[in-house]
Homo-oligomer: A and B are copies of this chain.
Amino acid sequence: MGRQDHSQPASTAGFVVLGLLGDGPRSGYDLAALAGRTVAHFWPVTRSHIYGELPRLEEAGLVRGRDVPQEGVPDKRIYRVTAAGRKALHQWLTHADLGEPRLHHPLLLRLFFGSALDAGEIDARLAEHAQTAQARRALYQTYLARAGEARAETSAQAIRLRQLVLRYAIRRQDEELAWVEEVRKTLAEG
């Protein structure tokens, strides 16, 4: 319609970067850090994705970057979402079909094949799993405790939604733990 290129990002990764940037202007480095303690827990994003998408998004007119010279530390490039970017993100949030949740669960995989394992071997795996679930739960709990301290740009609604996502993550670990107990009990009885 206009004379600028307002095309959509090709991949989901592009929208994820766009979404992260919705929180406020950030450099690729900062985005990667933010992603690592947030969305990366339920969607795969790495530095490589971010640095790959940023120039694409800029070319499409969805973000705009500005070089910020620094002393001592390396210079950086700060990106912010454009109006077109916000529009594209909203469109994606409301209309794109992202498919169903997918789970990669090594313990389930092993248990499914585990008829050749003895009680001790199964229990070792269960204990391992419970331990990492415990650790994750603690991590998410600290995130939740810190969730209130946000930037000025972050709206009350945004904070509420993020807390709900963290609640999910915590509940999920609780479920893992509860299930491990169920498995232990069942195998002890049988």
Residues of A within 8 A of B (CB): 16, 19-20, 22, 38-39, 41-44, 86, 89-90, 93-94, 98-117, 121, 124, 132, 136, 154-158, 160-162, 164-165, 167-168, 171-172, 175-176, 178-179, 182-183, 186-187, 190
**Nearest Cβ on chain B to A102's Cβ, whole angstroms:** 4
The distance in angstroms between the C-alpha atoms of A19 and B38, with both chains bound, is 34
**What residues on B are CB-neighbors of A19 within 8 Å?**
109, 112-113
Residue of B nearest to A87 (CB): B116
**Nearest Cβ on chain B to A36's Cβ, whole angstroms:** 14
**What residues on B are CB-neighbors of A155 within 8 Å?**
115
10 contacts between A and B (CB under 8 A): A22-B115, A86-B116, A90-B117, A93-B113, A93-B121, A99-B106, A112-B165, A115-B161, A160-B190, A171-B178
Q: A114 near B183 (CB under 8 angstroms)?
A: no
The distance in angstroms between the C-alpha atoms of A160 and B187, with both chains bound, is 8
**Nearest Cβ on chain B to A50's Cβ, whole angstroms:** 15
* Known contacts A117-B93, A175-B172, A187-B160, A165 near B43 by CB under 8 Å: no
The distance in angstroms between the C-alpha atoms of A171 and B136, with both chains bound, is 19
Q: A112 near B38 (CB under 8 angstroms)?
A: yes
Q: A43 near B109 (CB under 8 angstroms)?
A: yes
Q: B109 near A16 (CB under 8 angstroms)?
A: yes
Residue of B nearest to A90 (CB): B116
* Known contacts A100-B132, A106-B101, A161 near B111 by CB under 8 Å: yes
